[in-house]
Structure 1
Amino acid sequence: MRCPNQLFLTNKYFGVVLPNTWQYYSASTLNLSTITHRIIKISNSCHLGSSHCLVFNDEDKLGKRWMEFQGINNWDGLLDPLDDDLRGEILRYGEFVEAAYGCFDFDTSSATYATCRYPKRSMLMQRGLGRSGYKVVKNLHATCAVQMPRWLEKFPNLKSPQSSWIGYVAVCDDMDEIARLGRRDIVIAYRGTVTYSEWLENLRVTLTCLPDDMSPNENNKPMVQSGLLSMYTTKIEGHMPSLQETIREEIISILNNYSDEYSLSITITGHSLGAALATLTAYDVTTKFNNLPMVTVLSFGGPRVGNKSFRYQLEKNGTKVLRIVNSDDPITKVPGIVIDDDDVAHRGDAMVARLPSWLDKYMEDAPWVYAEVGKELKLSSKDSIRKGSVAKCHDLKTYLYLVNNFVSSSTCPLRATVRNYSFRLYLRNTI
Structure 2
Amino acid sequence: MRLAINLSHHVMTTATTTTTRLAHRHRLVTAISTTLAPPKPTQRVIRIGKQWREYQGLHNWEGLLDPLDDALRSEILRYGKFVEAAYTAFDFDPDSPTYATSLHSRHSLLANSGFPDSGYRVTRHLHATSSVDLPAWVDRAPTWLSKQSSWIGFVAVSTDETEIARLGRRDIVIAYRGTSTCLEWLENVRTGLTCLDHHGSPMVASGFWSLYTTRARELASLREEVREEVRRLLSVYKGEPISVTVTGHSLGAALGVLTAYGVVREFGVLTTVVSFGGPRVGNERFGRELERGGGRVLRIVNTQDVITKVPGFVIEGGREGWVTKWLSETGWVYAEVGRELRLNSSDSPRKDVRAGNVATCHELGVYLHLVNSFMSSRCPIRATADQTNLDFLNLFARYRQRTRTPVA
TM-score range, shorter chain: 0.7 to 0.9
- 1:146-295 paired onto structure 2 within 5 Å: 146-152=132-138, 154-156=140-142, 159-211=145-197, 218=199, 221-237=201-217, 239-261=218-240, 263-290=241-268, 292=269, 294-295=270-271
The residue type equivalent to 1:277 in the other structure is: L
The residue type equivalent to 1:310 in the other structure is: F
Tell me what 1:395 maps to. 363
1:404 match: secondary structure: helix
- 1:362-377 paired onto structure 2 within 5 Å: 364=328, 366-377=330-341
Tell me the distance in 1 between the aligned counterparts of 2:157 and 2:394: 36
Which among 312, 324, 340 is matched to residue 288 of structure 2?
A: 312
CA change 1:418–1:170 in 2 (3 A) is closer
Q: Which has the higher strand share?
A: 1
Structure 1 segments, 4+ long, off by >6 Å, are 416-420
Kept in 2: contact 1:148–1:197 (CA 8 A): no
Please state how far the C-alpha of 1:150 moved relative to its aligned partner: 4.5
Tell me the distance in 2 between the aligned counterparts of 1:329 and 1:147: 30
The residue type equivalent to 1:245 in the other structure is: E
Tell me what 1:428 maps to. 397
Tell me the distance in 2 between the aligned counterparts of 1:367 and 1:119: 41
Give CA-to-partner distance per residue, 1:225-257, whole Å, 9 cap, x none. 0100111111123x1111111111112112211
Please state how far the C-alpha of 1:373 moved relative to its aligned partner: 0.8
- Number of equivalent positions: 357
Please state how far the C-alpha of 1:94 moved relative to its aligned partner: 0.1
Tell me what 1:324 maps to. 300
- 1:63-82 paired onto structure 2 within 5 Å: 63-82=49-68
Q: Which has the higher helix share?
A: 2
1:409 equivalent to 2:388? Answer no
Tell me the distance in 2 between the aligned counterparts of 1:137 and 1:158: 27
Kept in 2: contact 1:147–1:162 (CA 8 A): no
The residue type equivalent to 2:163 in the other structure is: E
1:138 equivalent to 2:129? Answer no
The residue type equivalent to 1:201 in the other structure is: E
Tell me the distance in 2 between the aligned counterparts of 1:120 and 1:364: 44
Tell me what 1:91 maps to. 77
Tell me the distance in 2 between the aligned counterparts of 1:377 and 1:427: 27
Please state how far the C-alpha of 1:366 moved relative to its aligned partner: 4.2
Please state how far the C-alpha of 1:357 moved relative to its aligned partner: 6.4
Tell me what 1:127 maps to. 113
CA change 1:185–1:152 in 2 (3 A) is same
Tell me the distance in 2 between the aligned counterparts of 1:426 and 1:411: 29
CA change 1:154–1:386 in 2 (3 A) is farther
Give CA-to-partner distance per residue, 1:56-100, whole Å, 9 cap, x none. xx5xx4113222211122111111111111110000000000000
CA change 1:170–1:131 in 2 (3 A) is same
- More contact order relative to length (CA 8 Å, sep ≥ 6): 2
1:382 match: secondary structure: helix
TM-score by length of 2: 0.81
Tell me the distance in 2 between the aligned counterparts of 1:206 and 1:403: 32
Tell me what 1:378 maps to. 342
Tell me the distance in 1 between the aligned counterparts of 2:361 and 2:39: 17
Kept in 2: contact 1:193–1:199 (CA 8 A): yes
Kept in 2: contact 1:298–1:321 (CA 8 A): yes
Tell me the distance in 2 between the aligned counterparts of 1:96 and 1:71: 19
1:309 match: secondary structure: helix
Kept in 1: contact 2:246–2:256 (CA 8 A): yes
Tell me the distance in 1 between the aligned counterparts of 2:236 and 2:326: 46
Please state how far the C-alpha of 1:24 moved relative to its aligned partner: 5.8
Tell me the distance in 2 between the aligned counterparts of 1:365 and 1:251: 37
Tell me the distance in 2 between the aligned counterparts of 1:149 and 1:366: 26
Please state how far the C-alpha of 1:408 moved relative to its aligned partner: 1.1
Q: CA RMSD in A?
A: 2.6
Tell me the distance in 1 between the aligned counterparts of 2:162 and 2:212: 35
Tell me the distance in 2 between the aligned counterparts of 1:80 and 1:327: 16
CA change 1:358–1:146 in 2 (3 A) is closer
Tell me what 2:16 maps to. none
Please state how far the C-alpha of 1:382 moved relative to its aligned partner: 2.2
1:111 match: secondary structure: coil
1:276 match: secondary structure: helix
Please state how far the C-alpha of 1:358 moved relative to its aligned partner: 8.1
Gaps of 5+ in 1: 1-21, 31-38, 42-57, 213-217, 343-354
